[in-house]
Amino acid sequence: AWLVLYFRGNGVVPDPISIPVGYAVLFTGVALEAGALWEGAGRTGWRRITYPLLGLAIAAFFACYFIDEMGLRVVAGALILGACYLSGAAALAVGWKDGSMLRRFIVIATTVLGLLVAARGVLVLTMPGGWGWLSNGLLQAMSSAAFYLLMLLGGFGYLLLSREQLQQELARLSVIDPLTELPNRRGFFDKLAPWLALARRPGVPTALVLLDLDNFKRVNDSYGHPAGDAVLREVIEVCKKQLRDSDQLGRLVGVEFALLLPRTGVAEALLVAERMRLAIAGGAIKTERAMISMTASFGVTVIRSDDSSVSLFKRADEALQLAKQGGRNCVVEADIPQLVTS
């Protein structure tokens, strides 16, 4: 767009061609930039709205140019560009509450600058002679500066936003298991930490359940890793149906999982584990190669006031090993020693 307008300034391309074509390309670029922001915000239907409006805007600009080359052209150009930038700002504002400071700054800056660009068109339309000290020449200079800043913001600002989003995704992946979308070992321990601290206060205890899928290696060996992955995902979905929203399931390693049951005593935790065991064993899982039946072993304990993560998991793991030694596909309660107080 700027290249076409540059040739117009040098007299290479006549105005009746360079101005309509240059501005049409400029409008298209800014509108598609706003559309890309709406796509990033998850609004995939932006094309159905943007393309017809863009066509109408370009047609209106052509009409304004040929009716009044200086007056209406300025009004139409400023209003169309301002509307496109404000649309982009609205797309970035989606999820404002959870947005970062950088994102909010770009939204505010784009809104202010977009309004300044549009203000030139409004002033030319309503007050052709200017408004007090705010002459058309001054507003044109301010509008041009705002447009230049918007281009810089659109380049560097969105690069910084992309970098920020990449960092957020890397941070998420550091605590999430990509196969099951559950917290990994690190993520689960992060969620466990506050409940360990709360256990030092009197009140309803919090339970920990360890579960391990029985003989899972045979699934990978017999049917392949894709089938094993499908089984894992299906088992997780089955388990989630037995849990409350506040319960937290995590994948520790391989096919060993941990379940945190906030404000749950050992009796209730045993019932939850038994429901999960029955749900896993109760139905075959369909994969591309076969229907696969699975069972799981469970070790259950509650957090004591003197527990560390090491002692807590040691106790739960001992119960899990007893479940495996006892024939698998069962739930075992950990032996919790009495707390000695002085």
Query: 233: domain CATH number?
Result: 3.30.70.270
The answer on 189 and 313 residing in a single domain is yes
Cα dihedral across residues 153, 159, 162, 168: positive or negative:
negative
Closest residue by Cα to residue 177 from 82, 254, 263: 254
Residue 310 pLDDT: 93
The answer on 88 and 12 residing in a single domain is yes
Asked whether the beta carbons of 243 and 227 are under 8 A apart, the reply is: no
In a domain, 342, yes or no: no
The answer on 263 and 136 residing in a single domain is no
How much of the chain exceeds pLDDT 90, in percent? 46
The answer on 276 and 250 residing in a single domain is yes
The answer on 32 and 12 residing in a single domain is yes
Instruction: Tokens for 147, please give them.
Output: 């447009």
The answer on 154 and 12 residing in a single domain is yes
Residue 233: pLDDT band (50, 70, 90) is very high
Residue 95: pLDDT band (50, 70, 90) is confident
Look at residues 110, 142, 173 and tell me which one is the last residue of a structural domain.
173
Q: What's the CA gap between 128 and 278, in Å, rounded?
A: 79
The model's pTM: 0.63
Q: What's the CA gap between 289 and 127, in Å, rounded?
A: 75
Residue 342 pLDDT: 43
Q: What's the CA gap between 26 and 82, in Å, rounded?
A: 12
The answer on 157 and 204 residing in a single domain is no
The answer on 156 and 10 residing in a single domain is yes
Three-state DSSP class for residue 69? coil
In a domain, 249, yes or no: yes
In a domain, 197, yes or no: yes
The answer on 118 and 163 residing in a single domain is yes
In a domain, 292, yes or no: yes
Asked whether the beta carbons of 255 and 212 are under 8 A apart, the reply is: yes
The answer on 77 and 42 residing in a single domain is yes
Kindly state the helix (H) or strand (E) to which residue 152 belongs, with its residue range.
helix 136-152
In a domain, 126, yes or no: yes
Residue written as token pair 């509307």: 83
Look at residues 173, 207, 233 and tell me which one is the last residue of a structural domain.
173
Task: Work out the average pLDDT over 301-317.
Answer: 92
Give yes or no for residue 102 having a pLDDT over 70: yes
In a domain, 178, yes or no: no
The answer on 260 and 154 residing in a single domain is no
The answer on 161 and 15 residing in a single domain is yes
- Number of domains composing the chain: 2
In a domain, 338, yes or no: no
Query: Which residue range forms the structural domain that includes residue 153?
Result: 2-173
Look at residues 149, 173, 197 and tell me which one is the last residue of a structural domain.
173
